[in-house]
Structures are given as C-alpha cells and as structure tokens.
Chains A and B, each alone.
Chain A
Amino acid sequence: MVNKPSRAGALSRGFRLGKLGLTLTGSYLGYQAQNLLLGENEQRQHRFQQASSQRVRQELGSLKGAVMKLGQFLSLQTRILPEAAIRELAALQMQAPPMHPTLARARFKTSLGRLPEEVFRSFDEEPFAAASLGQVHHAVTRAGEKVAVKIQYPAMRQAIESDFQTLRTAGFAARLSGHLDESVIREVERGILEETDYAKEAANVEFFAKALAPLDFVRVPKVLREFSSDRVLTMSHVPGLRLQDFLETRPSQNLRDKLGERLTRLFFFQLFRVQALHADPHPGNYLLNDDGAIGLVDFGCVKHLKPEVVRCYAQFWSREWVHDPGLYAEIIRVIFGPKVSPAEPRARRCMNEIRRFYDEFHPLDKAPKPLDLADAKFMDGLARLAKVLVKNKFLSPEFVFLSRTESGMCNLLHILQARVATTQIARQWMPATR
C-alpha cells in the first residue's frame, strides 16, 4: 500500500522508458555504437540523429527526474552522444517541473514553519530561474538584502531513486554500459542524490566561500541560514549575467580574454589547491561582470577529489609519466583500477591519445602562446580524445565529475571565445609529482 502510487509512477515511467528504449535500440544507440564513434558518413548520420534526438528529448522531458539529469549529464559529459543529441539535451538544462505559487509557498512553509511573505519584506511569486530540482525566486529580506530563494519540488529524492531503479530494470543501463561502467552510473546517481540535500549545499557554499577567498575576482553567495533548510536554500544575490546574456552585451575581446583567464584560474585553483570542484559547469552557474568579477552559484554538485586523482590529472599536463614507468603504472592503477595491467593495449592507447592531445594544445614549451578556445580545432580535438577514452572504457568513477567539469569549462571558454594561457595557469598550482 505504502508504495502503490509511486510504484504506479515508476511503472508509467517504465513504460515511457520502454518507448525510449525502443527509440534507442531501434535506431539510436545501436546505430551509433556501430558507426558514430568511428565518425564516418557525418552528413547522413546528422540528419538521422536530428530526428532521433528530438524524440529522445521528448521522452526525457516527460520523465523529469533522474533520466533528465542523466541526459543532461551525458550532454555535458564525454560527448558519448553525438552533437545533435547534445544540443537537444542541452535545451533541457534549465527545465524542471514548475511549481505554482500555492505549491512553492507550501514547500516553504512546511520547511521553515512560516510563509515567505511572513518572513521577507517582499517575495516574488514568479520564479526567475528553474533549477533542475526546483526553482529560484527573488526576495528581499526585512533588512533590505536582495536574496535568491531556491525551493525544491516535493519528493525529488524518491523520484530520482525510483527512476534509477527503473533505469536498471529497463535495461537502459545495460545498453549504456557499452560506454559507461555500472560504477560510473552509480557515481552519477550518488552525485545527483546529493543535490537534493540543500543543507549539504549550504555547507558546500560556505566551504567554497572560504576556500576561494584567495581569488579576489570570485563572488560566492552567502547562505542565510535562518531562511534555509534541507529543502529551501536562501542565499545573497550574486550580481552578473549568464553567459548568453553577457555575450549579447558584445563584450570586447580583451574582456573575454580576461574572463577566460580567470575562469581557467578558478578551475585550476579548485582542482590543484582546494582539491574539490564545483562540478556543475553549465553556463547558467557562472555570472559574468564587466569589471571581470565572476559569480559562482549552485553548489549542489561538489566533488572532493582524492589526492592521487589530482596527481594523476596533473600528470596529463606535466607528462613526466612518459619517461617514468612507475608514474605510468600509478596512473593506470588510479584510473582503470588494480585489475588492469599497465601493459594492456587499451591502457597504452588511452595514455598515448591523452599525450597527443596535450602535446598539440598544451605544449611543454617554456612559454607556449595562449590557446584560442574559439578555434573549433580544439573542441574537435577534445571530442576525438573523449571518443577514444570512452571506447576504451577509460572513465573511472573518480574521474566522472572531474572530466565533466573540465569539458564543461572548455565548452564555456569556447562559447566565450576567449584566448587563455592555459598551460602557464595550470603550472602555477600544480602539485608535486609524488
């Protein structure tokens, strides 16, 4: 009895997933698995995918919950899905089940004991942004401070758990496992579930506010604890424009370069110094300003990295492993796990591909010239690298959120069309080899 309605929900989602599964096996992933990763016949495939990805989007859109998040995740992630599908899925990023004012207010009240209008001087009933698990409202506190109030849709956690359950029974995971290991899907699930706990997010915000203090151009919101709980999160307003809106102001190349440089510094500082990442790199989470300040918001997805993972990643940049078999073996152990021998051809293939990519775009010269991220060649190179890594099942759970953040960051810099001295910045905080 307890689970009846939610089981019915899971069933109907299962039915949809079945349809989605048909779309996928009938035409999409199966076809893609054979041809796409090999990159032949671009034109024909493109037409084919466009229609197919539209269907995928419709299906994912109606599923909300976990599948949508997984879709988004893949869209930002390793380019497992082809370009057309990524574009379609990217459109889903900012969508969530909308809440009417009655529901949003009810959520606020059950969580904090009082209605928003009893607590704030003013509260905007129309949300200004949809978060994937809820929505965000503008408000002004009694003290006159402008704040953003994030309110979570009810029972998201249960819906996500149930969707992942369905994903497994519907065999979707098995079909994906040609590309993704079950452990990777588990890591994604863990990350997504963590996003449902706003108390955790509040702690993340406070952690990063402190950790990023040395970077004076970064603005992190302040949590207003008295108006926050595990389902409602009230934070100070962070000024700035989202990438798309910012680009509409036609910023100069100088400004774009400056912001690009700072975004890169933000990434490497987190990675090498803090050893924890704001791991939800979609463009809406970076707020850009004319004076070069960068607002960083939405700390739902944060990944604390193991030191050895950071060290291995640093090796991609320093390439000391090329001449040091011990380092090479350690990288293989960390990424593929202890079962894979460093001598295995697929391990060697992956590492060679990584080396080729870094040699081409991040050369070891003393003072390499800035990287032009507007150049499609770089993005193509990144996609090529991702294809090889995915094909060889390179992605370990530990790397999931790191590579997601990295590729998201590259994507951001590409859209921003910035020129950035990436190598010099990376070297600045790189940890010692051992």
Chain B
Amino acid sequence: MKAKRARASTRPPKRGKRAENKEKTKRAILHAALELFAQNGFYQTTTSAISRKAGIAEGTLFNYFETKEDLALYFFEQELAGIIEWYHGNRRVEAAPLPEKLFAIIHHLLERLGPYEDFIGAVYLRALRPTSKLSPLSLQAQEQNLRYLRFLRGLLDEAAADDEIPRLGDFGAYAFGLFQLAVITYWLQDRSADKEQTLALLDRCSKVAVAILKRGGWEW
C-alpha cells in the first residue's frame, strides 16, 4: 500500500529544483502525519509530534502547513490527483462502459482511502464547521474540488460524445461529486465484512444512475 502511495503522485507542472524539494518535504510531512493520525487519531496528534517524526523543526513545519487542516487539504489534493492519474493510465477502465467506469473510480478512491479511515472520519466532522478550511464553503477546498470536477465533467462529456448518455454539462459533474461524497459517508459507517455493503450499494447505484441518465432522466 505504501509503495503504491509513493507511485501515485500528481503530475506536477515543470518547475525548478527548489520547488521539487519543497514538494518532497511536503510529502514527507504528510507521510509522517498520516502514520501518527493512524496511531493516535487526528485530534490527539500534535504538530510537534509530526515535525519530530518528519525530522524537521516545528517552525519549518509551519512554513509548509499552517494547521492540521492544511495537511488534510493537501492529503485530499494528492488523492484526487492520484485518481486522475490512475484513470489516465488505466486502459481497462478508460474503455469500460460508463456504469463500470463510475464504479471503478469510486472503488479505487475507497481502496486508496482504506488505510486512513479514522482520519477521514475526523476530517468529515471537522468539515462541518463553516469556518473550517475543510468546509465546502472554504474557497481553498473549492479550488481543489474544481480540478476534480473538471475531470469528471470531461469523463461525462466523453460518454455523451459516444451517445451513452445525454449531454449534462457541469450539473453531471456536480451530481457525480455529490454521489461520491454520499458513498464515502456510507463507507465510513459500513461495518459489514470487507465493507461489502458499500460495494453492493455502489454497484446498484451506478447502474441505476446511468439507466436514469440514458432515459434523459432530468427532464421529468
């Protein structure tokens, strides 16, 4: 899992050595933080513990992440970018019919998030505070989402070009984003073995959703 995580990086735009080093440090900090979150929980983990674990001065940590929330934001940015990269490198999924494609994307996301379940649960609660940087109202969070939503929109546009579904515009991407959020929420509280209830829900919903879209479901 760890090896996979290291591979799954964003495609950074070309930049200098300094920026590269900076990115490296950020990832090292995130890596250290995630380990501590898994061990002690999100709230119990202090920034000094994170900096110790990452082998940097606490002051340096603040140069990269002002708060633990910034760390969480960075985590999701990395994961969502990882999904996009995974998708474009995966012939099988790219060629699959839309219901399978949607299933595969969310399933892959859940697989990646698997090891960090407690942390994500904590972040979800945190995001409910309107003043939190993680809140859907925060511009920082919205900027991040935008990139992912564009990716989703591209995917639905492709399906529309292939006549799999009618053209949905931005609305389709938002709807899918919300659906993904709902599935993650369900997944967080799914106590069945291997979270198979989530798998069944995801399978049924992605089939039903595409079936509704095919019928031009938005009209009624």
Q: Which residues of A contact B (CB under 8 A)?
A: 1-2, 4-6, 9, 97, 99-103, 106-107, 110-111, 153-155, 158-159, 231
Task: Provide the bound-state CA to CA distance between A4 and B183, in Å.
Answer: 12
A-B contact pairs, 10 of them (CB 8 A): A5-B186, A97-B203, A100-B96, A101-B96, A102-B96, A103-B203, A110-B194, A154-B196, A154-B199, A155-B197
Known contacts A1-B189, A154-B203; is A102 also within 8 Å of B100 by CB?
yes
- On chain A, the residues within 8 Å of B199 by CB distance are 103, 106-107, 154-155
Say whether A158 contacts B197, CB under 8 Å: yes
Q: Is the interface of A mostly helix, strand, loop or mixed?
A: helix
**Cβ of B112 < 8 Å from any Cβ of A?**
no
Contact call A101/B189, Cβ cutoff below 8 A = no
Contact of B203 among A2, A99, A101, A110 (CB under 8 A): A99
Q: Is B121 an interface residue (CB 8 A)?
A: no
Look across to chain B and name the residue whose beta carbon is closest to the beta carbon of A110. B194
**Are B200 and A102 in contact, CB atoms less than 8 angstroms apart?**
no
Q: Is the CB of A102 within 8 A of B103?
A: yes
Q: Which B residues touch A99, using CB under 8 A?
A: 203
Contacts of A153 in B (CB 8 A): 200
Cβ-neighbour of A102 out of B107, B190, B196, B201 (below 8 A): B107
Q: Mark B194-209, 1 if CB is under 8 A from A, else 0.
A: 1011011101100000
| B104 engages A154 (CB within 8 Å) | no
A154 touches B197 (CB 8 A): yes
When distances are taken between beta carbons in the complex, the residues of chain B under 8 Å from A101 are 92, 96, 100
B129 within 8 A of A: no
Report the Cα distance A359→B205, complex, angstroms: 56
Cβ of B166 within 8 Å of any chain A Cβ, yes or no, is no
Taking CB as reference atom, which chain A residue is nearest B183?
A: A5
B99: contacting residue among A2, A9, A100, A110, CB under 8 A: A100
With an 8 A cutoff between CB atoms, is B93 at the interface? yes
Q: Is B60 an interface residue (CB 8 A)?
A: no
A9 CA to B194 CA, complexed, in Å: 20
CA distance A153 to B199 in the complex (A): 9
**Per-residue contact bits, chain B 80-108, to A (CB 8 Å; 1 contact, 0 not):** 00000000000011001101100110010
Chain A to chain B: the 4 pairs with minimum beta-carbon distance, closest first: A154-B196, A154-B199, A155-B200, A154-B200
Give the complex CA separation of A174 and B77 in angstroms: 55
B44 at the interface (CB under 8 A from A): no
Is B63 an interface position by the 8 A CB rule? Answer: no
5 more A-B contacts (CB under 8 A) besides A5-B197, A100-B100, A103-B203?
A99-B203, A101-B100, A102-B100, A153-B200, A159-B200
Docked pose: A68 CA to B201 CA in angstroms: 19
The verdict on B192 contacting chain A, using a C-beta distance below 8 Å, is: yes
Taking the closest CB of chain A, its distance from the CB of B4, in whole angstroms, is 13
| A303 → chain B closest CB, angstroms | 26
Chain B residues 49 to 66 lying within 8 A of chain A, measured CB to CB, are none
Residues of the A chain whose Cβ atoms lie less than 8 Å from the Cβ of B5? none
CB of B150 within 8 Å of the partner chain: no
Whether, in the assembled complex, B191 has its beta carbon less than 8 Å from a beta carbon of chain A, the answer is yes
Contacts of B186 in A (CB 8 A): 4-5
Tell me, rounded to whole Å, the shortest Cβ–Cβ distance linking B167 to chain A: 24
Q: How far is the CA of A100 from the CA of B204 in the complex (A)?
A: 12
CB-defined contacts of A103 to chain B, threshold 8 Å: 100, 103, 107, 199, 203
What is the minimal beta-carbon distance from B183 to any residue of chain A, in angstroms? 10
- In this complex, what residue of B is CB-closest to A109? B111
- Chain A residues with Cβ below 8 Å from B189 are 1-2
Give residues of chain B (163-220) contacting chain A, Cβ–Cβ below 8 Å: 186, 189-192, 194, 196-197, 199-201, 203-204
